[in-house]
Amino acid sequence: MLETNSNAPDFILNDQNNQQVKLSDFKGKWVVVYFYPKAMTPGCTTEACNFQESFPNFTELDAVILGVSKDPVARQKKFADKYQLQFPLLSDEQGEVCRAFGVWQKKKLYGREFMGIVRSTFIIDPQGKIAKVYPKVKVKEHHTQVLNDLKELRSS
């Protein structure tokens, strides 16, 4: 997994509206990139809705939120529409961005091992460096932690 102070890998992915989103287009802004395993599942829905609830606070800080999963564009669209999400949900079907950020890892569930996205979040500073890493996120209050850390990072 990427570490603090490393350069965030640039990427181009399609969002839920099939529009290309390029990370480097946000240079000069704070960016929150969160990786989630699968759209429309309980944990991922909670996480997305929590970020949506806090969206005005992130906007006030001139920060961008980008959600990333391996779901196809059509599923991302259905997810965004169903929960009225106002930020891009990016489709990384090939998993290249997940691997570049180090979130595609071996997971265990009920004694079974498989490869999957480990729910993780990265705050990227205006210069494109990783300012904060959240590995193995617990969704309940995660959005609040990210918002508070972003405020602190912006003031330092």
d(CA 100, CA 140) in angstroms, rounded, equals 26
Read off the pLDDT band of 83 (50, 70, 90): very high
d(CA 156, CA 151) in angstroms, rounded, equals 9
| Residues noted as catalytic | 44
Residue listed under structure tokens 């969002």? 15
Q: What is the CATH number of domain 12-155?
A: 3.40.30.10
d(CA 63, CA 26) in angstroms, rounded, equals 9
Tell me which amino acid residue 26 is: F
Query: For 32-71, how does the pLDDT look when each residue is reduced to its tens digit (9 = 90+)?
Result: 999 999 999 999 999 999 999 999 999 999 999 999 999 9
Q: Are the C-beta atoms of 45 and 53 separated by less than 8 Å? A: no
Structural domain spans, the chain: 12-155
d(CA 47, CA 142) in angstroms, rounded, equals 8
d(CA 109, CA 99) in angstroms, rounded, equals 20
pLDDT number for residue 136:
87
28: left (phi over 0), alpha (psi -120 to 50) or beta: left
Element (H, E) at 82: helix 73-82
Query: For 98-144, how does the pLDDT look when each residue is reduced to its tens digit (9 = 90+)?
Result: 999 999 999 988 899 999 999 999 999 999 999 999 998 999 999 99
Contacts of 10 (CB under 8 A, 6+ apart): 22, 23, 24, 128
Give the global pTM.
0.96
The helix/strand/coil state of 126 is coil
Residue listed under structure tokens 């529009």? 19
Average pLDDT, the chain: 96
